[in-house]
Chain A
Amino acid sequence: MFLHIRDSVLFFTLKSLSGISIVSLLFIIFYLVSESSMVLSKINLSHFIFDAGWYPIEGQFLLLPMIVGSLFITVGAMLLAIPVGIFTAILCQFYAPIWLSQTLQRIIEILSGIPSVVYGFWGVVVIVPVLASIQAPGTSLLAGIIVLTFIIMPGIVLIANNAFQEVDKMHIQNAITLGLSRYSIIRHIILPYAQRGLLSGTILQSGRAIGETLAVLMVCGNVVQFPGNIFEPVRTLTSNIALEMAYAMDEHRSALFLSGLILMLVVLTLILLAERIELSAKST
């Protein structure tokens, strides 16, 4: 295949090392499946939805409140972060003077690099006391939604910025020549063209949001319950893992791995969805 023996050696070294990424992904999935198979073989799936509560030591594995908690927090944060993020990107791209637009992009970039544990800590010392003064105990679904919103918002702005920049400049120039107003150009040319990029980007971002662990754990209060209103504490799937991994044994431990597997499946579905959307954007 190659003239020099060195080349063949190099090729096969590179190729086999490239396989490591595949191997590690397979390992992750294998471990999640094999560790959770114990609880799956002993307990019917309906137990995770219909049991009396989450008392893993007594064999009660009600995962539903945690799934609902994860869902509420993620959806709430996305609902807040998407509009604010997209409008900020519109400001960046079309309304702000150049110096401000550059500063803003830079700040967003820095914000997206700040560790989520810092946001979580800040939530504990600033947001939770404010919420507690409205209605005790402060650590609540709402606190989680607020903190998660701040964590994912920079990502949404970056995604929207990229999506707007990828709109064909030709279309915009044509629209300007035709004398369309700024609002019409943004509303009827740029947004429809950027739609697919925005959609696939936000889907990926929601995958990151649902996987967020410690920041949410720090501000949510972690009571296993269906929240009656947004001021009540909740526990998410991720924080359940982080809280109980340390001492979980046997079926309990296996149930935690099962919740990890559920998270993984959700995130993988979201990725495939996002890829599908991007592909369909390319083909049209």
Chain B
Amino acid sequence: MILLPSNHNLADKILKLVSWLCGSFVLLFFAFLFFDILLQGYERLNIEFIYSNPLNAGREGGIAPMLISTLLLLFLCLAIALPISMSCAIYLAEYTNENQWFSRFIRRSLSMLASVPSIVMGMFGYAFFVISLNLGFSILSGALTLAAMILPLLIRNIEDTLRNISNIHRLNATALGLSKFRTIFQILLPMSIQGIFLALILGIGRAMAETAALLYTSGYVTRMPDTVFDSGRSLSVHIFDLSMNVPGGEQSAYSSALVLVLLLLSINFFTHWIGRKIQVRSIT
């Protein structure tokens, strides 16, 4: 941010007024949305809501199976996406430069993969994982679909972290006669652990907000999932179902939305905290 000189001709005043109007509109909207969800959702939010099963199509009772399904989805999705994205990021950052056709091809596919609309991703997941691979409506199908969605985000962030490591460390390692394998696993990866963690959390945030891709992959059964081959309804799908298909489900939807927003808010604060730690470390 650069401080511009403040002088008060008419055009400047108008621009100032308009941008203040727009900014305060955004602020007001945020306050309205947040406090509306907070106040309305707070009524039904208690410990029981968190750990009990939904009753009466979700109008009463709690959200325990949705929380468990969401956690299972996230865990599986990261377990699938993390090894792939780390390999890809290491490959891109340590073995290629921007002029090689294969790395350009990967980058191009990643930017396209990142922008596939989530409903199209859901259709693909439905046709491929659910039907072709015969996994059925299951948490596994949902997690595989989500993994394909967050892959580009993870790869970009991990690659950035690796590229930000000073080349001196690589030169030192080579000078000491370390193999590439050891350089990567004993020097570069330990140095970028916080960055990888940050990428993970960003991925969790993205995956948790996803709804359309899950509708036709992990399904919307409200039962507690026993295994990952069971169908499970994520928290976001629960909000969708309550507000669309269940008359009188608004109260529960408000509370579920509050839980989801609070989870995402804590993820946001967590990422900032880690981000600051990385900055501090890179300065010292």
Which residues does A use to contact B, with CB under 8 Å?
Answer: 2-4, 6-7, 10-11, 13-15, 17-22, 24-25, 27-28, 31-32, 35, 83-85, 87-88, 90-96, 98, 101, 104, 106-111, 113-118, 120-122, 124-126, 150, 153, 157, 165, 169, 172-173, 176, 181-183, 185-187, 204, 207-208, 210-214, 217-218, 238, 241-242, 245-246, 256-257, 260, 263-264, 267-268, 270-271, 275
Contacts and interface: CB of A to CB of B under 8 A. Distances in A.
A35 B33 contact: no
A238 B26 contact: no
Given A122-B36, A214-B211, 8 more contacts: A4-B180, A18-B106, A21-B88, A95-B16, A95-B19, A106-B272, A122-B33, A181-B7
A254 B128 CA distance: 14
* Size category, B interface: 35 or more
A101 to B, nearest CB: 6
A260 to B, nearest CB: 5
Nearest to A4: B179
Interface of B: 1-2, 4-7, 9, 11-12, 15-16, 18-23, 25-27, 29-30, 33, 36-37, 83-84, 87-88, 90-92, 95, 102, 105-106, 109-113, 115-124, 126-128, 148, 151-152, 155, 179-181, 184, 205, 208-212, 215-216, 236-237, 239-240, 243-244, 250, 253-254, 257, 260-261, 264-265, 267-268, 272
Contacts of B253: 121, 125
B23 A88 contact: yes
A32 B83 CA distance: 27
B113 A113 contact: no
Contacts of A90: 15, 19
A213 B15 contact: no
**SS class of chain B's interface: helix, strand, loop or mixed?**
helix
11 contacts: A3-B179, A21-B84, A31-B127, A104-B26, A173-B2, A182-B5, A185-B4, A241-B123, A256-B123, A263-B119, A268-B115
